[in-house]
Amino acid sequence: MSVIQSVNATITSLRAQVAALHAELPRNALVVWTAGNVSARVPGADLLVIKPSGVSYDDIRPENMVITDLDANLVDGDLAPSSDTAAHAYVYKHMPHVGGVVHTHSTYATAWAARGEPIPCVLTMIADEFGGEIPVGPFALIGDDSIGRGIVATLRTHRSPAVLMRNHGVFTIGTHARAAVKAAVMCEDVARTVHIARQLGAPLPMRQSDIDALYDRYQNVYGQA
């Protein structure tokens, strides 16, 4: 039995989940045209599910999601994988706790990336979701695992599930794909709010002890058990 056959039911479910989650990107104004992508790790196999390259969001269907291995080689699917697949694959290979990865070029967060400037932790929402500033990763060219290397090197030393890749855009991670999408939505929201705050003056800093307390509460207490 092949690896694909052994996890076939899981892959079928993930194809549907990943296809559905792509709708959240245009719905939340995080992407334009065909830019951006969502992927999910296939539990129990060194595989991932990701959007095919250059396909319109209106045309995304579970059946056209593609499967690759963690070296970004196509394993199953009729279309070429996203041009960002090598970056996603590198993250999964080197961050075993990650189950979902999202990439966007959302306007405000990408503006911070263009400046090479972290988003400071000056809002309770930033403390809750990101545990501190949203960091900046290095510039890297698209097409190989260089972006993935920058993501991993940056996020390994941060609590943040989001990184602003310099001169490029946003990558977010999560224990599953939906969590990574949520982080992308929240990253854009706080990027916009902090930008507006800076037009009014200098945002007020937060104490590290308060940031830590907010992060702990949100991660461990907030929501339903």
Active site residues: 103, 105, 128, 168, 222
Q: If you search the block for the tokens 């290979």, which residue do you land on?
A: 93
**Relative orientation angle of helices 8-22 and 177-200, to the nearest 10 degrees:** 20
**Residue among 29, 56, 205, 65 nearest 132 (CA):** 205
DSSP-derived secondary structure letter, 150 = H
Look up tokens 């260089």; give the residue: 146
Measure Cα distances from 165 to 64, 105, 170, 176, 225 in Å.
28, 10, 6, 21, 34
